[in-house]
Chains A and B, each alone.
Chain A
Amino acid sequence: METAVRHPDIKKILTERGLDGCGRDIWTKRLEEIKPSEVEWALSRKPGYYVLDRLLLLVSPAAENCLEQMAQIAHHLTLQRFGKTIRLYAPLYLSNFCVNDCVYCGFNKSHQFPRIRLTIEQALADAEIIAAEGFRDLLLVSGEDKNFITVDYLVTLAEKLREKFSSISVEIYPMQTNEYAKLFKAGIEGVTLYQETYDRNVYAYYHPQGPKADYDCRLNTLDRAASADMREIGIGALLGLSDWRLEALAIGEHAQYLMRRYWKSRVSFSFPRLCPARDVDEKQFSLISDKNLVQMILALRLCFADAGMVLSTRERAELRDRLVELGITRMSAGSKTSPGGYSGKSGAVGQFEVDDNRSPAQIAEMIKSKGLEPVWKDWDKAFTDL
């Protein structure tokens, strides 16, 4: 009983706070009632510490008038904690087969297009190209294709990739703790998994069937990853499915929960924003504006000084150039979001459309032009005992 009190699980926390959708109207009303003076007060406090009520003020409509002030604080905080650096990584897509039916996703199983799975050799060929571009930080991505992208597949691949890459992480389907432990032992040290939306009803609508329809299983996935010792834990919501302000609050609670309970793992935030994908009807989503995306990034930075903040090539170049000064610590470059995309052999369908098509070298130059150092390597394979 005592343990339960000390470590309430994330499901209970979200339910009690009404952040799994059940308190939607109450939160929305509270957000609307926030006055500029309250935001001013929040900004006058020491930055970098999380309290739900403070995050609430910073993501409020009233705070939209304080973005410059928030940006200044976020910039200085990021500079102090992370220095004048931006980490670079590349995604490697392994398979676009998927058993799920997510309404918004290009890999949706109902979509008719030629599916591709990379063999280990094909994946290594793509990885070779990524390494030649300078990357040492690799993110393995796949649809929910458990029969082909198995734990053994990932272990074998990771052990070979370790020769070229100092850091390997995964963004794939949820696994069990013992499976994550096998990956960790093979040199995979990070797991990113977005809840997509923390609102249960919205979640049910967008994930009608398949294993991903289980909201609670997904919510507990990062507990399992962290229990297996994973060092980097990436969380986020797919922005555009539900009200971003409420998603931000749920993300804040989820992050605090993970940080307190799995204190040896670093939590990072991603900000995937829904963008056009094949066969996806844009009209059914609540797309989020640039201004609000910036507000969300700044608000979370002001509450979590040491959290990594990740930006993909979903966003367009001009915006990415600005965001590197506003709290972002890690970004991808030159991404191909279809399996085999780097080798150029496949005309396969991507998960989403890449908006920033600049080469890794061009991104590195852009980062330097901002007075920051592009960091290709910030980990070492020697950390893992093989």
Chain B
Amino acid sequence: MDELIIAGRKFKSRLLVGTGKFASSRVMAEAIEKSGTEIVTVALRRVDIQNENDDMLAAIDRDKYLLLPNTSGARNADEAVRLSRLARAATGINWVKLEVTPDPYYLLPDPVETLKAAEILVKEGFVVLPYINADPILAKKLEDAGTATVMPLASPIGSNQGLKTRAAIEIIIEQANVPVVVDAGLGLPSHAAEAMEIGADAVLVNTAIATAQNCAEMAFAFKLAVEAGRIAYLAGAAEASQKASASSPLTGFLRE
């Protein structure tokens, strides 16, 4: 499969994995392994980022995976920027998954504050991967601000509803010059495959893996789905049609 390139760094896997909601760090580590992922995102609120022995951090092999800190819980740009700086100071990692979600229930991203935070962080040298609603104009503005990707949501985070924002994501993909990573709401491997089939560069999955009965197997299923979807996209999928069509009903006679 072709490589995913984010901010000049190459990745073989197009599946990013989140670390929340797992029953234990051991189960999480198994799922990460089976997913084949190379990018693992961690909520700064959940870990003690300054402590190398933190249970969750210790379970993530930093030689194998890029640790992507996220600002989950931030209600505004100031908080997100502060958390990002703290993470960089403690770990030296200058990548950040930018999440600004003022509403604690649906955790929908705030476009105004996200853009504001992205502008500050890019200027400070961060590689910024912003979580956004599926808003094509915002995606372009973030790209202009210098973010490394855009990460539009498929449906509200943790909802497992699948690609509800498909029409808008198709526009984002069509217009983007940076990788489009579909984030949030993908509840099944088929949802992930669908996102990849329409040309997403990658997807991020957490809840669907973490709350499955068998997390490692579900992670593996997502790995396969993401690969299948990517291959299908590259293969040039045939357009769906409302009607069945015979091979050449109108012009068949010309061959005679």
Contact = CB atoms under 8 A, between A and B. Distances in A.
Interface of A: 79-85, 166, 231, 259, 263-266, 306, 368, 371-373, 375, 377-380, 382-383, 385
Chain B interface mostly: loop
B105 A266 contact: yes
Nearest to B101: A264
A135 to B, nearest CB: 13
B83 A383 contact: yes
A341 B47 CA distance: 29
Which 7 residue pairs spanning A and B have beta carbons closest together? A83-B21, A266-B104, A84-B23, A306-B105, A382-B86, A264-B102, A380-B45
A373 B104 contact: no
Interface in B1-60: 20-25, 44-48
Contacts of B105: 259, 266, 306
26 contacts: A80-B207, A82-B21, A83-B21, A83-B22, A83-B207, A84-B22, A84-B211, A85-B20, A231-B104, A263-B103, A264-B102, A264-B104, A265-B104, A266-B104, A368-B24, A373-B22, A377-B48, A378-B46, A379-B45, A380-B73, A380-B83, A380-B86, A382-B83, A382-B86, A383-B45, A383-B79
Nearest to A76: B211
B82 A83 contact: no
Contacts of B106: 306
A247 B79 CA distance: 37
Contacts of B211: 79-80, 83-84
Interface string B157-178: 0111000000000000000000
B184 interface: no
Given A80-B211, A368-B24, 5 more contacts: A80-B207, A81-B158, A85-B22, A377-B48, A379-B73
Chain A interface mostly: loop
A382 B82 contact: yes
Contacts of B83: 380, 382-383
B25 to A, nearest CB: 8
Nearest to A232: B104
Contact of B47 (A80, A231, A377, A383): A377
Contacts of B68: none
A166 B103 CA distance: 21
B37 to A, nearest CB: 18
B75 interface: yes
Contacts of B104: 231, 264-266, 306
A385 to B, nearest CB: 6
A83 B20 contact: yes
B61 interface: no
A377 B44 CA distance: 10
B210 A83 contact: yes
Contacts of B75: 231, 264
A84 B207 contact: no
B82 A264 contact: no
Contact of B23 (A259, A372, A385): A372
A169 B87 CA distance: 24
Contacts of B82: 382-383, 385
B150 interface: no
Contacts of A372: 23
Nearest to B206: A83
Given A266-B105, A372-B23, A385 B46 contact: no
Contacts of B160: 80
Given A79-B211, A80-B211, A85 B21 contact: yes
Contacts of B124: none
Contacts of A166: 45
Interface string B93-106: 00000000011111
A378 B25 CA distance: 15
Contacts of B142: none
A380 B44 contact: yes
Interface string B72-88: 01110011001100100
A383 B81 CA distance: 10
A229 B22 CA distance: 30
A50 to B, nearest CB: 11
A84 B21 contact: yes
Nearest to A380: B45
A237 to B, nearest CB: 22
Given A80-B211, A83-B210, A373 B24 contact: yes
Contacts of A385: 78-79, 82
A287 to B, nearest CB: 33
A146 B176 CA distance: 58
A306 B48 CA distance: 25
B45 A373 contact: no
A89 B23 CA distance: 18
Contacts of B24: 368, 373
Contacts of B47: 377
A263 B107 CA distance: 11
B46 to A, nearest CB: 6
Nearest to A370: B23
A371 B78 contact: no
B44 A375 contact: no
A380 B72 CA distance: 10
A264 B83 CA distance: 19
A82 B159 CA distance: 11
A127 B148 CA distance: 43
A377 B46 contact: yes
A62 to B, nearest CB: 29
Which residue, B25, B73, B78, has most C-beta atoms of chain A within 10 A?
A: B73
Contacts of B159: 80
Interface string B211-244: 1000000000000000000000000000000000
B23 to A, nearest CB: 4
Contacts of B20: 83, 85
